[in-house]
Amino acid sequence: GFTVVLKRSGREVVVPAGKTIMEVLKEEGIRVAYSCQSGVCGTCETRVIEGVPDHRDNVLSARERERGNVMMICCSLAQSDRLVLDL
Ligand code: FES
């Protein structure tokens, strides 16, 4: 698991193994935009302020993955213990 910090509200949520960031945010009542929930549409693209995403989507290019400043929160996870997102 890893911790997600929501920059705009300062809230922190823990994403346990086997869950997605989006699932946890929804459980916490945090509204997020999404559509496919499987990493293909790009609707859930979110800016990464700190931390290293573990990209699992089919939207971003290799270059964007490497840059690491955006991620699809419906499917991608974290390589770092903590991600700070622009949410
Ligand atoms: Fe479609 Fe995340 S909701 S890529």
Q: How far apart are alpha carbons 61 and 17 in whole angstroms?
A: 26
**In the chain, which ranges are continuous DSSP H helix?**
21-27, 62-67
Do the interacting molecules here have an ipTM over 0.95? yes
State pLDDT tens for residues 20-60.
999 999 999 999 999 999 999 999 999 999 999 999 999 99
List all residues whose CB is within 6 A of at least one atom of ligand 1: 34-37, 39-44, 57, 59, 72, 74
Sign of CA dihedral 28, 33, 37, 39: negative
Q: pTM, whole model, 2 decimals?
A: 0.95
Cα(11) to centroid(ligand 1), Å: 22
Cα(81) to centroid(ligand 1), Å: 23
Determine which residue's CA is closest to atom 4 belonging to ligand 1.
39
